[in-house]
Structure 1
Amino acid sequence: MSNASRFKFFKSHHVPTLTVLKAAIGDFSYAPHAHEEYAFGVTLAGRQDFFSGGQFHRSPPGNVILFNPEEVHDGHSGGERALDYLMVYAHPEQVKPLFADVLGHERGADFRSRQTLIQDAPLRQAILELTRLVTSQAGSCIDQENALYRVVERTAQLGGHVQPSQVTHRPEALLDLAREYIHAHLEADMSLDDISQAAHLSKYHFLRLFRQHFGMTPHQYVMNGRVNAARAALDQGTPLTEVALRFGFADLSHFNRRFKRIYGMTPHQYQRDIAR
């Protein structure tokens, strides 16, 4: 198996917040992380091994991988040969109206798939077609929107559940306060005391509940959120040094290390890819 790894991102020129990753992985391993977006992937060659939802998964060629927003996972190549795969990232605000339309009611917007590994030829083909349109910048805006709709439609047909619009269970409601506080203060120097106080919980109780609920420590969650927010800033063309400073990275070297653990490339390489 080759030790070399290659990553290339493509931004849709038509559909806002739609991004495709094409990757070939040798000895690289993703650190545990989560994305704000829905992630629809296809394993093309080799085997994709990863932990998600407290379970270890192996994805052979042809399998679909689906991560809901903020679903913690890692990933690396398994088996004898290098791993080739692609992943489509679609922001919830882009696909919520599509899920609502497919499911026939507004609450459908909060759809979450129950499956992480999926063997389904129609969904695989829908993802591959959307990827083709984005990576080749082919077709019109409505072509790419329709291709994304087909991915969402088939995903919903395969089953899932709709999250309640109002969280009423007290621990979850308090942890949502913590999550909202973190996302509102990613550019600030926040402490554990700040976050636990926002959730109206003692620090000890907060730490235990937070990790159980989100699958990460608060520190990991904050750093993950800062890297994702930094990526959004890079999408807007913000200079690297400004992004690093804004989100509290000590220097560009620190920013590079954190970003690469999640996206497989440096911020500079990512910004160069999406500018094409």
Structure 2
Amino acid sequence: MSSGAVVRAWRPGLPGVVEVLHAHFPSHAYPTHTHDAWTVLIVDEGAVRYDLDHREHGLAQAQVSLLPPHVPHDGRSVLPQGFRKRVLYLAPDRLGDGLIGAAVDQPEYVDPLLRHRIHQLHGVLKNGQEDLEAQSRLTLIEERLGQHLRRQVVDPPDRRDTGVAVELRELLDANVTNGLTLEDAAKVVHAHPAHLVRAFSREYGMPPHRYLTGRRVDLARRYLLDGHPAAEVATLAGFYDQSHLNRHFRKLLGVTPASFVKP
């Protein structure tokens, strides 16, 4: 685990929120990865710098960051003492695929009301006893996020070879636990394996194998939050063994699977 890192994660009983994460990272830096959910992030201490789709961004305590599904990003502290953050992971259909481009163009918002509402929702979810209040607060947050996104001018689609990359991503998503060889993927997509790797890396900012590992870590998080033991989670999520899971989980999140769900 990163020295002094403290992470608490859980799955609330609130439809639309697939995970809540509270973390303090004195030194951890996230490598490039993706999520299959919308990431709503606020920073409570310190400041964060991150690259999203090859562009650098920064997040301070007064801002809210919204990272879209399937778009590569990393994360690191601006200050030597690290940072403290709270995150809501929203199901991908809560805001819609059509708004992903707008979120890539502008992922941070200086909106005190939105930030305060997110802070309030975290408090309700931490308490876990007020379902209607949680639903109401989430509805207002999603409405305001949607307003921000729809104000953005969405550029025309990039005419790079996105089709091949998207097809490969869909194949990887369909084979997270079983995996697949590059040769088999190339046969399905009807493209040379080398072209597949180049197209995917250009589109998503990482090679296919790293994307698949990140998806497996995401899946492992879900199983851990459902109460499965780490040794069982390794197999369920597609890792060779618990050591394999621990290595990638710690690299991505800065803590071991056991620490991730520790009360």
Q: TM-score, normalised by structure 2?
A: 0.87
Deviation string 1:1-23 (CA, Å, 9 cap, x unpaired) is: x9522111132134364322111
Aligned to 1:103: none
Moved over 4 A (4+): 160-163
User: Which residue of 234, 247, 256 corresponds with 2:237?
Assistant: 247
- Paired letter, 1:53: D
Aligned to 2:175: 185
Aligned to 1:264: 254
Query: Aligned pair 1:90/2:90, yes or no?
Result: yes
Matches within 5 A, 1:142-181: 142-160=132-150, 171-181=161-171
CA contact (8 A) 1:227 1:259 kept: yes
Aligned to 1:121: 112
Q: CA deviation at 1:199?
A: 1.7
RMSD: 2.6
* Higher-RCO chain (CA-CA 8 Å, sequence separation at least 6): 2
User: Which residue of 106, 125, 142 corresponds with 1:134?
Assistant: 125
- Paired letter, 1:85: K
CA contact (8 A) 1:10 1:134 kept: no
Q: Return 5+ residue gaps in structure 2 as ranges.
A: none
Question: Take 2:257 and 2:80, find their aligned partners in 1: how far apart are those partners?
Answer: 30
Question: Take 2:10 and 2:79, find their aligned partners in 1: how far apart are those partners?
Answer: 28
Query: Aligned pair 1:236/2:251, yes or no?
Result: no
Aligned to 1:60: 60
CA contact (8 A) 1:7 1:24 kept: yes
2:71 is paired with a residue of what secondary structure? coil
Deviation string 1:109-149 (CA, Å, 9 cap, x unpaired) is: 64322322221112211211111111121412x22122111
Question: Take 1:73 and 1:109, find their aligned partners in 2: how far apart are those partners?
Answer: 18
Aligned to 2:19: 19
**How many pairs were matched up?**
256
Q: Return 5+ residue gaps in structure 1 as ranges.
A: 100-107
- Paired letter, 2:199: L
Q: CA deviation at 1:87?
A: 0.9
Question: Take 2:7 and 2:224, find their aligned partners in 1: how far apart are those partners?
Answer: 17
Change in 2 beyond 3 A, CA 1:131/1:184:
same
